[in-house]
Amino acid sequence: MVDNIQAVLRKTPLFASLTEEETRALARRTSKKRLQRGDLLFGEGDPCTGLFLVASGEDGHLQAVGVGTRTSVGD
């Protein structure tokens, strides 16, 4: 599982500059979550519980809200 997570991390620009050792250490601290169509990963206003990376699949509707910005991706 860690090898697969390392591959996802290496493809993510935020983590691209990490060394192999750093990537491995970060991968060991992660977990996978499989969602089915219609499942909710988190809701607007929920407290932050971590950083989520979508490794595969599609989103039906993804809305990112930040300070002073609002971006919608998907349908």
Each residue of 9-24: pLDDT tens digit? 999 999 999 999 999 9
pLDDT cut 70: percent of the chain above it: 72
User: 7 — phi, psi (to 5°)?
Assistant: -60, -40
**Which residues, in sequence order, are bridge partners of residue 64?**
71
Question: What's 47's DSSP letter?
Answer: P
Backbone angles phi, psi at 64, to 5 degrees: -105, 130
Considering only CA atoms, which of 6, 4, 2, 37 is closest in space to residue 20? Answer: 6
- Least confident among 13-17, 29-33, 71-75: 71-75
User: Does residue 65 carry a pLDDT above 60?
Assistant: no
